[in-house]
Chain A
């Protein structure tokens, strides 16, 4: 299981008109990994995610997600992959349970099965007490946690998180990160964590990829990258030092 490749991209390119959003992206991600996908705003991170999910078609190049091409077989990919977009939306006039049940139905999980699972998940993300409140009244943190529950309901093998901690308070952020970490540890779910918050990525990710202006400039474990880039004159580099170095070069 360890060396099973779950995401594979080969010379993936996306152009909008003349503008290149993603340029020749090649990467491989193993099952069970927590991969940090870094880059400044507008670097093409979200576009990459959309291509991985089959929500937009690449201009050229190949992608394989859980063994399927998302442009050709989006169905297969979407069954196995959860996506938590930045600022996730819900149907505000339904309560948490109804929202989850709706998503469960879209995933063809019968109501009998999903009812139990929904309760479990609500316990897990700590929303059980608030489950009957309309989602419109939820705070940002609660919405984000509900988003996680929604992603987990289809029991994905791979989760794409797009800035999952943005707008959360420090406590909420920490809990979210712990939770993400535990998902990968306990359920062997691969996490693709797209963010520009370096300290968080450093905390939970096994490997990182740095994307600047559509180019993947670095990929690998943080310390390995740091030693390659900055030399071995220091015992430990923070991700920030490394990132800034790349950023200035680009």
Chain B
């Protein structure tokens, strides 16, 4: 974990040196969003956060099964749900401590390095970001706990969770591109692209890639942490009026507006996390606990 922190720190501090010419507003949040040498902290969590969740959860139930402590636990006067609740809560607590720790370390070092103290809005945005991240990683924790309930062997559940992670993090993105090309092909050479096709292409690609929790998370967090972003969309078609209004409102969005933009993403993340936990709960409650 320390390695993770250091790695992201180095990336941060290096790019801190390089900038510092003009002073943009809400500079402090740049610490988390700007890609340093390799990647930004936000990308880092979006990408490797799931691994934290998976490692915390993949052997939670079936290790108890293998070491034959599950039947013992189940024969104590506790409700069976408390076993699985405890597993989930313990994981979430660890995730919270890790994330808050990392964010605090980065902030602390950041303040020293760039000499900018975060304002209240920045702090609020950071808090929201941390909460989204906790939920996001908890979703992966839920997935891995689910697999640890379903599969008897720890290796199987670890591999299955990793497979799901790879699928959603890499292949959904790729698949989205293919789908979009198939539904609304854009000719590579043509200079005159029909805007309708382009819009359709973009829509299909976004819809498919939203299947991936990583996209959800990235879209939600970058908007929260980067107030100058006013939409989560990639392609914005602008008529003259929009152009005018955009040039008028160059200022960063207030926090509340950012929240409104990401609300659907947030709700989706919460929903899939709870869904995952719910399924896990159901399966576990119905399972028979045997020693053999």
By a beta-carbon cutoff of 8 Å, the part of chain A in contact with chain B is 46, 50, 53, 55-56, 75, 78-79, 81-83, 85-92, 103, 106-108, 150, 154, 162
Contact = CB atoms under 8 A, between A and B. Distances in A.
A81 B67 CA distance: 22
11 contacts: A50-B288, A50-B290, A78-B75, A78-B77, A79-B77, A81-B75, A86-B291, A89-B72, A91-B67, A150-B72, A162-B291
A55 B288 contact: yes
Contacts of B291: 46, 85-87, 162
B74 interface: yes
Contacts of B68: 85, 87-89
A89 B288 contact: no
A150 B72 CA distance: 10
Contacts of B71: 55, 83, 85, 89
A181 B191 CA distance: 92
Contacts, number: 62
Q: How many B residues touch the partner, as a band? A: 10 to 19
A107 B69 contact: no
A85 B69 CA distance: 10
A167 to B, nearest CB: 13
B289 A106 contact: no
B73 interface: yes
Pairs A-B, 4 closest by C-beta atoms: A89-B68, A83-B75, A89-B69, A78-B77
Contacts of B75: 53, 55, 78, 81-83, 85
B67 A89 contact: yes
Nearest to B78: A106
Given A85-B291, A154-B77, 5 more contacts: A46-B291, A55-B74, A86-B291, A90-B67, A91-B67
B292 interface: yes
Interface string B56-80: 0000000010011111111111110
Contact of B292 (A46, A75, A154): A46
Contacts of A83: 71-72, 75
Contacts of B72: 83, 85, 88-89, 103, 150
Nearest to B291: A85
Nearest to B289: A55
B271 to A, nearest CB: 31
Contacts of A46: 290-292
A149 to B, nearest CB: 13
Nearest to B80: A74
Nearest to A77: B77
A92 B66 CA distance: 12
A106 B76 contact: yes
B16 to A, nearest CB: 42
Contacts of A50: 288-290
A91 B69 CA distance: 7
